[in-house]
Structure 1
Amino acid sequence: MDGNVYLGMWTNWSNGTIWGATLTTTRADGNLLIAFTGFLVPFVASRFWSIICLVFHIYFSTSEPRDAIHHQRQVILRNSSSPDSRLILLLRLFWAWRNTSKASKRSSRLLPIILLSICCISAFTVAGGLSSEISSAPGDEVLLRGDHCGQLQIPSNISDIAEVMSVLSGRVMDAALYARQCYSANSSGLLDCDKFVVQSLPTAIWDNNTACPFDEGICRSNTSNLLLDTGYMDSNNDLGLNAPEDERFAMRYVLQCAPLVTEGYTNEVVAQNKTFVTYNYGPRPNRSGQDDNSENFTKEIETLGSQYPSELIAIDSVLNYELSVTKSKSIDGMFQSNQSDFDPIPQLFRSNADLTLIFLSGNGVRFFEPMEDDWYRATLTTGNISFVQTEGNLSSYIPAEAASPIGCLEQWQWCNSAYPRETGCGPLASKLDSLFGAAPIFNLTENELNFGDINSTTAAGSRLSWLTSMEAMDVDTVRTVVSELGATSLSSQSSLIQGIQYPLPQNQWQLDVTNWFNIVLATIQTQYVFMALGDPELEQFEVFPSNAAQQQLCNSQKIRSTSYTSFSLFGLLFTYIIGFLIIIISFVFEPALAYIQKRRKCRDYASIEWSTNAALQLHRLAQEELGIGTWSGCTDIVPVTKEGDILATLNISALEHPVYYSPGDNTGDKAKAISIIEEISSDNVDSATENSSVQDSTNSQTVAGDYMDENSNSEVRESVRGLNEDPRNLSLYHFGPDEVDTPYQSNVPYHLPNYPPIRSYSEPRAQSEPERGIRQGN
């Protein structure tokens, strides 16, 4: 079945034109598409967040002086790669300013962005979860290819019947197994019940207290009979024939059953030295042509004595019930002799239904307990039951008579879903009358609708004629189910072991009829699938679609399969189109904005701030403030230096306050000296201070040495000597006992250097030696 699946795009009409657009692929290709979609969603999320950050960065940008929270927020927005990573940083920023005077303002300035990032994360998390739903369009439904679509028909040559009937019998057995597993609330789950579009067809009515469907007096009970009704089953939603609403049909199946009385309807006859009990619910059609009464009965069954020849109980697993079936069909409200097994008596005949009688014989089966059920009626006491492994014995019970009949009426109804239900349905009637009665609403006449011609000039008529051809095999009836399955169609079989029937509920017959009903429904499900698949080995016994409407019906069968993956085409297109649009906008937005500003020659502060707040530009600004490097591309994404420039590195002598220092600067040595000096006891420091003398700025090389006591540690001397080698260091600082790094306080007045005029961003400024000393010293 899985080998005939259509791969590609199609419309699942269960979900409409837009939502039903479906793409079916192999499982391997589907997994690749799912994986790629799973990768796309978070990438789209990051690009969408970048758009938000750009918009808000521009919105908050201002050339007016602002505090640290503003600028830190701008830096976070500029260097935000994803909403989740920035959310953490924004929360840390919010927390860091909690104990400051600006704590009251941080909420209004940070919370909107925090909430926006949370919304963005939530939205794309949900989108990521829902992205898996675009696969497996509802129920893993796939469409079958109708390449070999055809329907089995009764062969014209009787020698070929065995081959066809064996196939039909196998299909009924498969349906029975499916019904037992998938229609039962106590299913073992051994079978795959997910092949059809619905696991089981509906039962709208299950009423076990209905009136006798026949004349009063012929039913064993006038109140506890069984009515089963599917209601209207939609050809698309229930049977899996994919079609828009105006091309669908609906069918309904009704089954009514009641155990029948036998008093007055039985006789004992002797034939070939053997006694039989005949049941007279109507004569068999006399097809022999002889004028005798040899067939003036409905069914003949061996007597009870023949079925139970001895009170000895043979523990024999071969023993089982025997079911005998006979049917009567109605056409145009009249008995149809050439398709019936008997002509029912007036008390049983119904002009608007097909009648089936099922006779249950004990056939040697003994009951563990008495059975008051209206059909089984095992009330006669017989021999005792005993087991080798147990002590004692119990009486066994057998049926009260040779056979117990049950009568069942079957009705069908067909509707054209293009019309309202009130006016678009044929009559609820026998199978043939229901089809002929529905012909007018499918634009056919009764004469056009016959089993020998499946052609029609209209699409609706072609569909009904094709279905009529399928129904001609009469597979979906109680008569066929019981005939093919025999006693195995009884649900009581589950407690029948070695010819002993263990206790059953007192309404067992109703459970058996319900099981038949379920098998009929399962047969309906399977026959539509088998119609679409056809059987290449039996093509000589099949009829094929004769026009486009019938071929379309063949190509419209849906099943469910886990071997393939069906995607919602709308979901795929929506995800990918929106996703790629967001990606394209995120990459084009910033360059387009810069291009427009360049064309209008109006590049504003916001765009420049966006450029310079980038991580690499912030790094450039930090280096350039030290006067290091000759930079270009100062408003591009990546600034670059002149070839050979060496940049500043971190001074981590103060672990809680790292700073840059330029290459060649001995600030690191100074920091080492500072660290050593701090380790000297306060007495030594005081002594060194008392013996120090202030030198003229021209002799600044010896200032630090003069501040050192002769008994000071030699390591300190060596460190200070390193500082003395560069006069810029000590001309601005002295080492005091309370402050390590304070401006030099000498008698010589200190003059700040004159800074050059402000230069443009593209031209690095030259620095005077005094200026560089200030920057490097600090």
Structure 2
Amino acid sequence: MADSTVPDSGASAVHIGFWQNYDGGRLQGALLTLSNQNAAALLSFLAVAVTFAANRSWKICRFVLYQYLRTHTDENDTAAQSRRQLQVILRNIVTAGSTLWTFIDMFWTRRRERQSALQWNWKPTVLAILSATHLAGFIAAGILTSKILVGRIVVSKRIDSCGQWQAKNSSDPASLLSYQTLRLNETLDAENYVRNCYGQGVSRGILDCGKLFTRSLPYQVEHDVACPFGDDLCSDNPKGAYAMDSGLISFSDLGINSQFASRLSVQRRSLCTVVPDGPFKEQTLTSDDLPVTLRANETIEVYKFLTIDEEDDSNLYYRSDNYSGTYNLMAYHLPYEPEQIAAPIRPNPNDHDASVILLRQNGVQYLTTHDDPWFSVKQGIEFDNSTGLIRPDLIRYETDRFLNVLACDERVRFCNALTNTCSPWTGLYTSTYNLNTAISILAGPSMHNTTTAYDELGKTVTLVSLSLPLTSLPDSIRNRPGASALQAARYLNLNLQYHLEPAQWKIELNYWFSMALARLQLELFNTIEKPPSVDEAQAVNTWSDSGLTSLCGRIKFRSANHASLSAVGVGLVVGLVTLLVLGSWVDGVLAWVPGEWAQRVVREWQEWENLSMLGEIEGWRARIGDLSDPFEVRGWTEVHETK
């Protein structure tokens, strides 16, 4: 039978032992991570230790109370008898619960005896209350012992495979295939995570959403924003852009364990708008240009978004006769120098990256018109009914554009709450290139660049920066077909689109931006170990070659196979148990002290112990002979002397 168990992702990279969770402070953040089995064993040991310590603690209380009764004698015979009874109870009943029960039993048994030694005497009542308090206190302590288990938050450790993996040789087909497979799997993982764990997900949530330190990252949206591109491109709708802004995402929420994580944050923003395809159209190829490829009424539209060397053909080609009945979706992140990007979307100033998302509808038909600016379904379809097979009343609609274009301004910046500073806005790749500048700004003038703190801050920012390039909106699509990457495709059957939501383009962008944020979370998590899909023969760990392995061991996540306990809690329990056990030997220690005072303190304590009294009784028996009960002998002697 095949093994159906699913391995716990990241389990091999969990740090076992003591570590500091910087989010919890010096004391509360001191944690001990163990496997579930060892954590259960430790908790069981601590619970037993608390029970044992309760008896040792009660012995100390008994000894102190006994000495109080010994030194506070009463002249009244009834009171003296009561005191001796209490001394016997304190000396020989070793648990607070048994002591309490003994007092309850005595109170109940002698409730009708008006002349009882315990009647009208406050001492038994006080001792009963003290024993009840002690018992309740250690019951509560036993329950609180379970609070030492703080959860399943763990931290990664440095292992050989931690880092980011890339193709070993981008020109080698096998390496390139390995790279594309890795990136596609990461995109699919991000989509699965959004579907199950983000608010707008459409799945039933069967995926484990508790693995990452923070389940999901929120963001805000802005409508009717000024178009971020030139007037020529935005003339149709200059205030029709749509913005998605993550706000300040704390490094702590990303699961980074660093002394600066709670102060540092990253802000990710994408601003998108629908633009016409005309400014990017390079030429139209006809059958005159390609007589073998094209028939008389067919064309190929050529689009240009990059102005790279003409020898490197970066143009995009779309055939006019493609009626596949499904969406052709293509997306490109353009993190190039501004002069290499088409003028209409060229970053100016160079404080962001440009991305384009291209939708070709390839004969998809609609039941009604739609005003959505990106899908743009506004014209009816004129069917060729020369065969007479199409119903005369059949009405369908199609897009009125050859190519539907979304252009996006994608940017990021870092902020430090302690210095109240933020780095300049940059593109997703540019954030890595300008890292030294950003770190210097975040550190502020008070932190010198030769200090350990500056080095730690730099490593923390670098860790996040290296994951940002893969959070572009096109990376949320990653060469997947429209039927897979579009939310609208859930209502596409064959070539008929049954439904579009109002502002469907914003729904698509929201979903891709959620995937971008999830991708940031997962990219950081994936650095703890080599992804399972990576073929080491065709891939390389970029951290190993770049000396970045010092970034390992900084990611917090949850592990189903491990548990973390409060190191302070464990230390307090062990320390208090040890202290009480040592303190319970006070009578034994005093017995070895040569002074008269110490001997006087323990002499009667030892004499009233059960075994000592039993030895005295056995001595009576040895001396008296047949009369085995010394109390009977005492009673006979008193009667005989009376006569």
User: Which interval holds the TM-score relative to the shorter structure?
Assistant: 0.7 to 0.9
Give the letter for the 2:248 counterpart.
Y
**Tell me, what secondary structure is at the counterpart of 1:431?**
coil
- Taking the aligned partners of 1:430 and 1:526, their CA distance within structure 2 comes to 20
1:132 aligns with 2:130: no
> What are the within-5 Å matches in structure 2 for residues 231-380 of structure 1?
231-235=247-251, 237-245=252-260, 250-260=265-275, 269-271=284-286, 272-273=294-295, 275=298, 283-285=305-307, 287-289=309-311, 301-303=318-320, 306-307=322-323, 320-329=326-335, 335-337=338-340, 340=341, 342-345=342-345, 351-367=350-366, 370-380=369-379
Residue number among 567, 570, 583 corresponding to 1:569 in the alignment: 567
Corresponding residue for residue 412 of structure 2? 412
- Taking the aligned partners of 1:382 and 1:130, their CA distance within structure 2 comes to 73
Residues 546, 498 of structure 1: alpha-carbon distance in 2 compared, 3 angstrom cutoff: closer
1:481 aligns with 2:470: no
CA displacement 1:523-548 (0-9 Å, x = unmatched): 22232333332467157633334788
1:771 aligns with 2:614: no
Give the letter for the 2:511 counterpart.
N
C-alpha contact 1:330 1:433 (8 A) present in aligned 2: no
**Tell me, what secondary structure is at the counterpart of 2:205?**
coil
**Tell me, what secondary structure is at the counterpart of 2:402?**
coil
Corresponding residue for residue 51 of structure 1? 60
Residue number among 227, 237, 243 corresponding to 1:227 in the alignment: 243
TM-score (norm 2): 0.77
Give the letter for the 1:252 counterpart.
Q
Corresponding residue for residue 578 of structure 2? 580
**Tell me, what secondary structure is at the counterpart of 1:344?**
helix
**Tell me, what secondary structure is at the counterpart of 1:352?**
coil
Corresponding residue for residue 507 of structure 1? 503
Residues 98, 491 of structure 1: alpha-carbon distance in 2 compared, 3 angstrom cutoff: farther
Cα shift at 1:268: 9.1
1:630 aligns with 2:619: yes
Corresponding residue for residue 147 of structure 1? 160
CA displacement 1:5-43 (0-9 Å, x = unmatched): 333333333323443333333333222222212211222
C-alpha contact 1:97 1:106 (8 A) present in aligned 2: no
Cα shift at 1:427: 0.7
C-alpha contact 1:152 1:541 (8 A) present in aligned 2: yes
- Taking the aligned partners of 1:39 and 1:264, their CA distance within structure 2 comes to 77
Give the letter for the 1:163 counterpart.
S
Residues 460, 579 of structure 1: alpha-carbon distance in 2 compared, 3 angstrom cutoff: closer
CA displacement 1:479-530 (0-9 Å, x = unmatched): 2222333422333344444554444431332222122112222222232333
C-alpha contact 1:269 1:275 (8 A) present in aligned 2: no
Corresponding residue for residue 290 of structure 2? none
Residues 570, 545 of structure 1: alpha-carbon distance in 2 compared, 3 angstrom cutoff: farther
Corresponding residue for residue 5 of structure 1? 14
Unaligned 5+ residue runs, structure 2?
1-9, 287-293, 384-392, 442-451
Corresponding residue for residue 171 of structure 1? 186
CA displacement 1:210-248 (0-9 Å, x = unmatched): 45444678287666753322233344x233333222898
Give the letter for the 1:489 counterpart.
A
Residues 580, 283 of structure 1: alpha-carbon distance in 2 compared, 3 angstrom cutoff: closer
C-alpha contact 1:329 1:336 (8 A) present in aligned 2: no
Cα shift at 1:285: 1.5
CA displacement 1:290-347 (0-9 Å, x = unmatched): 9xxx98xx866455x8538xxxxxxxxxx5422122343365xxx151xx5x44357x
Residues 471, 603 of structure 1: alpha-carbon distance in 2 compared, 3 angstrom cutoff: closer
- Taking the aligned partners of 2:472 and 2:261, their CA distance within structure 1 comes to 28
When the two structures are aligned, how many residues end up with a matched partner?
594
Percent identity, please.
Answer: 21
Q: Which has the larger radius of gyration?
A: 1
> What are the within-5 Å matches in structure 2 for residues 179-194 of structure 1?
179-184=194-199, 187-194=203-210
**Tell me, what secondary structure is at the counterpart of 1:412?**
strand
Residues 612, 410 of structure 1: alpha-carbon distance in 2 compared, 3 angstrom cutoff: same
C-alpha contact 1:53 1:80 (8 A) present in aligned 2: no
**Tell me, what secondary structure is at the counterpart of 1:537?**
coil
Corresponding residue for residue 524 of structure 2? 528
**Tell me, what secondary structure is at the counterpart of 1:6?**
coil
Corresponding residue for residue 63 of structure 1? 73
Residue number among 16, 20, 24 corresponding to 2:33 in the alignment: 24
1:440 aligns with 2:437: yes
Kindly report the root-mean-square deviation, in angstroms, between the aligned alpha carbons of the 2 structures: 4.5
Residues 551, 289 of structure 1: alpha-carbon distance in 2 compared, 3 angstrom cutoff: closer
**Tell me, what secondary structure is at the counterpart of 2:100?**
helix
> What are the within-5 Å matches in structure 2 for residues 652-731 of structure 1?
none
Residues 772, 465 of structure 1: alpha-carbon distance in 2 compared, 3 angstrom cutoff: closer
Residues 72, 227 of structure 1: alpha-carbon distance in 2 compared, 3 angstrom cutoff: farther
Residues 98, 490 of structure 1: alpha-carbon distance in 2 compared, 3 angstrom cutoff: farther
Residue number among 582, 590, 605 corresponding to 2:587 in the alignment: 590
- Taking the aligned partners of 2:428 and 2:592, their CA distance within structure 1 comes to 77
Cα shift at 1:59: 2.1
1:83 aligns with 2:96: yes
CA displacement 1:59-115 (0-9 Å, x = unmatched): 233332453655544444333333333333334445556666699986954554444
Higher relative contact order (CA 8 A, sep 6+): 2
C-alpha contact 2:381 2:397 (8 A) present in aligned 1: yes
- Taking the aligned partners of 1:320 and 1:20, their CA distance within structure 2 comes to 53
C-alpha contact 2:187 2:519 (8 A) present in aligned 1: yes
Residues 538, 102 of structure 1: alpha-carbon distance in 2 compared, 3 angstrom cutoff: farther
CA displacement 1:672-691 (0-9 Å, x = unmatched): xxxxxxxxxxxxxxxxxxxx
Give the letter for the 2:148 counterpart.
I
**Tell me, what secondary structure is at the counterpart of 2:46?**
helix
- Taking the aligned partners of 1:111 and 1:394, their CA distance within structure 2 comes to 96
**Tell me, what secondary structure is at the counterpart of 1:245?**
coil
**Tell me, what secondary structure is at the counterpart of 1:172?**
helix
Residues 545, 462 of structure 1: alpha-carbon distance in 2 compared, 3 angstrom cutoff: farther
Cα shift at 1:158: 0.7
Residues 301, 285 of structure 1: alpha-carbon distance in 2 compared, 3 angstrom cutoff: same
Give the letter for the 2:275 counterpart.
L
- Taking the aligned partners of 1:211 and 1:646, their CA distance within structure 2 comes to 113
CA displacement 1:453-475 (0-9 Å, x = unmatched): xxx9x835973896599459x32
Residues 232, 93 of structure 1: alpha-carbon distance in 2 compared, 3 angstrom cutoff: farther
Give the letter for the 1:133 counterpart.
K
- Taking the aligned partners of 1:492 and 1:330, their CA distance within structure 2 comes to 31
Unaligned 5+ residue runs, structure 1?
309-318, 385-392, 445-455, 632-640, 650-659, 663-765
Residues 283, 521 of structure 1: alpha-carbon distance in 2 compared, 3 angstrom cutoff: closer
Residues 642, 156 of structure 1: alpha-carbon distance in 2 compared, 3 angstrom cutoff: same
C-alpha contact 1:276 1:300 (8 A) present in aligned 2: no
Residues 498, 100 of structure 1: alpha-carbon distance in 2 compared, 3 angstrom cutoff: farther
